Structure 1
Amino acid sequence: MEVTRQNFKDSLCPIYSAIEEADFLAIDGEFSGISDGPSVSALTNGMDTPGERYVKLRKHSMDFLLFQFGLCTFRYDQSQSKYLMKAFNFYIFPKPFSRNSPDIKFICQSSSIDFLASQGFDFNKVFRSGIPYLNQEEESQLREQYEERRSQVNGAGTPSYISPNSCKGPVNVPDEHKDFIGRVYSASCGDSCRYPKGIHVETVETEKKERFIQISKVDEEERRRMEQQKYERDLAIHNLRTCGKLVVGHNMLLDVMHTIHQFYCSLPEELDDFKEVTMCVFPRLLDTKLMASTQPFKELITNTSLAELEKQLKEKPFKAPRVECSEGFQSYDTASERLHEAGYDAYITGLCFISMANYLGSFLTPPRSHISARSKLLEPFYNKCASDFNSLYVFGNL
């Protein structure tokens, strides 16, 4: 399912439902760039400690934009011995909510853009229909400004006039405009019994980029609903934090860093602080690249890139998992690769995880063909991220 600005609200219930019923989730991101140089190898080297590498990635990678977020949910159907999958592709772009909202600057890496373009990536969909968002810090600041302006407008018996570009207080209104503004306010707020809080004022932009002020009389319940609509757009990504489900990714350090940076808070300067934030946002992580590079898999797997890993895990001693697309959701076929579409890469990541998890069942007595995402056999792989040059990031204490 493609999720854009236009259908985001209608998609919320299916997204929440899919996350709630899932046994585990797989994620992937597509970015406007990876490093500040021609390649990651130019940015870091094998002598870097995990802390040094984190500092470099934080400094040189966070000005790039995560503009497609892939989420696949996997639910095991015991009666049919198969997984049911639901895939979501979120197109994301930080369009400002209002004049007071952050106006994000970001950079692009020409090699990354060229590569994604060669894969058929739809940049128009990102820029035209990408879902706007705020991280928690930005949202808190915007809420404070909004509440301050609202209280100044509705808190007294006479209207205050607030500049849309300032949260410092009322501004002087030219004499020639006072009568007109007073008449508009009186006409809007005349019914004080039904509308005790007065009015809801909102700047509206048409498809032709024409801007005008829309004034509505609302009761308290409707006013709250209208305010909530301004902030509901970023709730889907926060649901990943509260669900407590295992979140699987492949070589997922940058995915985790960008997700936290864009949707939660600015990244801490030190690695230890980043680990603490990560465990608050994603209590259970599993990196399939690290898993494939660890015993008992590393002697059996020769290439841990995502596409090659998926192919190897179809061959003995592994077995391709039974996974079907849930009714009404986009189906993927690995025979016609769609690599570097975030939803597809998340799907492939989920397949790799299932194959490796089920392989661990062969060591049990008697052997088991299905290993749950909550199995203790997986605990050695929890909360660790692989990175280039074999840097290892351990987030939790097991």
Structure 2
Amino acid sequence: MDVTRENFRAVLSELKNTIPSCHFLAIDGEFTGLLVGDKINAYDSPAKQFSKMRQESMEYLLIEFGLCVFHYNKEKNSFTHRGYNFYVFPRQFSQRSYDPQFRCSSSSLSFLISHGFDFNKLFKDGIHYTTDLQMEPLRANLEEKQKLRNMKSLFQTESIPIPDIHVPLIEDICDRIEKFLAIKEPKELQLDQYNGYIRKLLYQEVGKRFPHAYLETRTASDGTRTMFVMRSDGDENRKKLEEDKIDREINELEEATGFCEVINLISLSKSGGVSSSDSEVKLLLLALTRRWKRKGQRGKKASCVKNRKLANAPVVLSSTAEDGEIEVQISVG
């Protein structure tokens, strides 16, 4: 099953049930480049080798992540598995957030192209992710933004004169808001997208002219900002709208974790794992997991190793079950 940002949330809900109960996992990945390993020498300690490999692997981007979840059926002495193919592409969450930059290897990209990799799907619909270290400043910025918003509501600021060139636009928008407030439906009015200066003028004018209007700016997944107008009848209703806005901002921020939530599920799983021989897959798991901290506190992680005994065992595929589930019989001597 291909997983993009369109169906990611539905698949994540499914994985929250299937990963903790599975018997083992199989993973693989595609990257914008591969480890060369020429910086490592025989005199490096294991810790030094790991540090060098991790640093080099982080310069490339994981763009496709394959995951198979296996469950064992004692009665049939067989396994069923579900496979997932994640398209992964980090985006800039907001103007103040980290703008991802990465290296590409021509040979790696040529290999992917020759095997039909869909780069349009990757860049357009790839699943975003933000690590814990990247989330820390985002959370701090959101808290600061909410504090400033509360302070502004307590103090009156001087009005900004509206430039003549913007008067027709502001008046047109205010006319739309006035007509919206005169009726009961719809519940909110969506305005067009405006730059920060126009939005500031609108907050000023709407606040002065329409005491029963509540203005809010929402940020879409692509970073664009759109203004919405809602009816605010009384202090209690306005307080409820403010609380809803705060909850929505917090939820949007938490959703920025994205694909890292899958890695977190794997890292917390007690199941064993089978991966390709490419160490880059395992390094990316360590780098993305929530439990990987700067101080080296690793916590409990899934065993993601190349299990030769299991990988080389005879495999018998039985009839295909519903919705992509396949019954697999594995004999390990």
Q: Please state how far the C-alpha of 1:225 moved relative to its aligned partner.
A: 4.5
> Which AA in structure 2 matches 1:244?
K
Partner of 1:157, secondary structure, is: helix
1:259 pairs with 275, 285, 293, which one?
Answer: 285
Q: Please state how far the C-alpha of 1:10 moved relative to its aligned partner.
A: 2.4
CA contact (8 A) 2:66 2:84 kept: yes
Distance in 2 (alpha carbons) for counterparts of 1:140 and 1:252: 30
**Which structure has greater strand proportion?**
2
Distance in 1 (alpha carbons) for counterparts of 2:321 and 2:253: 31
CA deviation vs aligned residue, 1:234-293 (integer Å, no higher than 9, x gap): 43332222333223323253212122324548885xxxx65x52xx262x31422xx43x
Distance in 2 (alpha carbons) for counterparts of 1:160 and 1:46: 68
RMSD: 3.6
2:217 pairs with 201, 207, 217, which one?
Answer: 201
Whether 1:182 aligns to 2:204 is yes
Match for residue 314 of structure 2? 319
Match for residue 189 of structure 2? none
Whether 1:109 aligns to 2:105 is yes
> Which AA in structure 2 matches 1:287?
V
Give the number of aligned pairs.
Answer: 284
Partner of 2:29, secondary structure, is: strand
Distance in 1 (alpha carbons) for counterparts of 2:74 and 2:156: 62
Match for residue 214 of structure 1? 227
CA contact (8 A) 1:83 1:322 kept: no
Q: Please state how far the C-alpha of 1:15 moved relative to its aligned partner.
A: 2.0
Q: For structure 1, which segment, 133-142 or 257-266, has the greater mean C-alpha deviation from structure 2 after superposition?
A: 257-266
Distance in 1 (alpha carbons) for counterparts of 2:211 and 2:262: 35
Whether 1:152 aligns to 2:148 is yes
TM-score by length of 1: 0.60
The share of aligned pairs that are identical, in percent, is 27
CA deviation vs aligned residue, 1:25-79 (integer Å, no higher than 9, x gap): 22222111113xxx44x44456654334323323333210011111111001112
Match for residue 119 of structure 2? 123
Structure 1, unmatched stretches of 5+, are 162-171, 192-197, 298-308, 333-349, 360-398
Match for residue 54 of structure 1? 50
Q: Please state how far the C-alpha of 1:110 moved relative to its aligned partner.
A: 1.0
Distance in 1 (alpha carbons) for counterparts of 2:44 and 2:201: 68
Match for residue 165 of structure 1? none
2:131 pairs with 119, 135, 148, which one?
Answer: 135
1:244 pairs with 270, 274, 278, which one?
Answer: 270
Match for residue 179 of structure 2? none
Partner of 1:254, secondary structure, is: helix
Q: For structure 1, which segment, 251-260 or 132-141, has the greater mean C-alpha deviation from structure 2 after superposition?
A: 251-260
CA contact (8 A) 1:200 1:215 kept: yes
Q: Please state how far the C-alpha of 1:111 moved relative to its aligned partner.
A: 1.2
Instruction: Specify whether residues 180 and 128 from structure 1 end up closer, same or farther in structure 2 by C-alpha distance, changes over 3 A only.
Output: closer
Instruction: Specify whether residues 17 and 200 from structure 1 end up closer, same or farther in structure 2 by C-alpha distance, changes over 3 A only.
Output: farther
> Which AA in structure 2 matches 1:204?
A
Match for residue 174 of structure 2? none
CA deviation vs aligned residue, 1:320-351 (integer Å, no higher than 9, x gap): 2557765213769xxxxxxxxxxxxxxxxx99
CA contact (8 A) 1:82 1:323 kept: no
CA contact (8 A) 2:33 2:109 kept: yes
Distance in 1 (alpha carbons) for counterparts of 2:114 and 2:211: 56
Match for residue 83 of structure 1? 79
CA contact (8 A) 2:61 2:102 kept: yes
Instruction: Specify whether residues 182 and 326 from structure 1 end up closer, same or farther in structure 2 by C-alpha distance, changes over 3 A only.
Output: farther
Q: Please state how far the C-alpha of 1:143 moved relative to its aligned partner.
A: 1.1
Instruction: Specify whether residues 205 and 62 from structure 1 end up closer, same or farther in structure 2 by C-alpha distance, changes over 3 A only.
Output: closer
Instruction: Specify whether residues 44 and 330 from structure 1 end up closer, same or farther in structure 2 by C-alpha distance, changes over 3 A only.
Output: farther
Partner of 2:97, secondary structure, is: coil
TM-score by length of 2: 0.71
> Which AA in structure 2 matches 1:105?
Q
Partner of 2:220, secondary structure, is: strand
CA deviation vs aligned residue, 1:156-186 (integer Å, no higher than 9, x gap): 534799xxxxxxxxxx985437764223346
